[in-house]
């Protein structure tokens, strides 16, 4: 027989995310932009799963980052543009 307390403890131990994973990446990238670190914002979006990179929110964030000067060389503009829009 299972006690009520054990059931409640089991419910409390469940990990319920407060936001979806893709939203966390967008929030982090936005934070990097606020700090003026466009390269880190770009890298944060690159770390997303491929299925989330095509979301309109991610594409818009990449288009915001695109004109910023990179902190380290990442290649030609053409490659960056092609990568921004999957």
Tell me the C-alpha distance between 26 and 45, whole Å: 7
- What confidence score (pLDDT) does residue 79 get? 62
Say how many CA atoms lie within 13 Å of 50 toward its Cβ: 1
- Higher pLDDT residue, 82 or 4? 82
Rg for the chain (alpha carbons), in Å? Answer: 19
pTM for this model (two decimals)? 0.60
pLDDT (tens digit, 9 = 90+) per residue, 6-59? 444 454 445 454 458 899 999 999 999 888 888 899 999 999 998 898 899 999
Cα separation, 4 vs 10, whole angstroms: 10
Predicted local distance difference test score (pLDDT) of residue 36: 83
């Amino acid at each position: 027989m299972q006690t009520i307390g054990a059931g409640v403890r089991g419910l409390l131990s469940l990990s319920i995310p407060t936001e979806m994973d893709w939203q966390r990446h967008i929030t982090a990238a936005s934070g990097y932009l606020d700090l003026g670190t466009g390269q880190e914002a770009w890298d944060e979006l690159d770390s997303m799963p491929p299925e989330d990179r095509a979301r309109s929110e991610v594409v818009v964030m990449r288009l915001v980052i695109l004109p910023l000067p990179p902190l380290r060389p990442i290649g030609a503009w053409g490659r960056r543009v092609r990568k921004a829009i999957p």
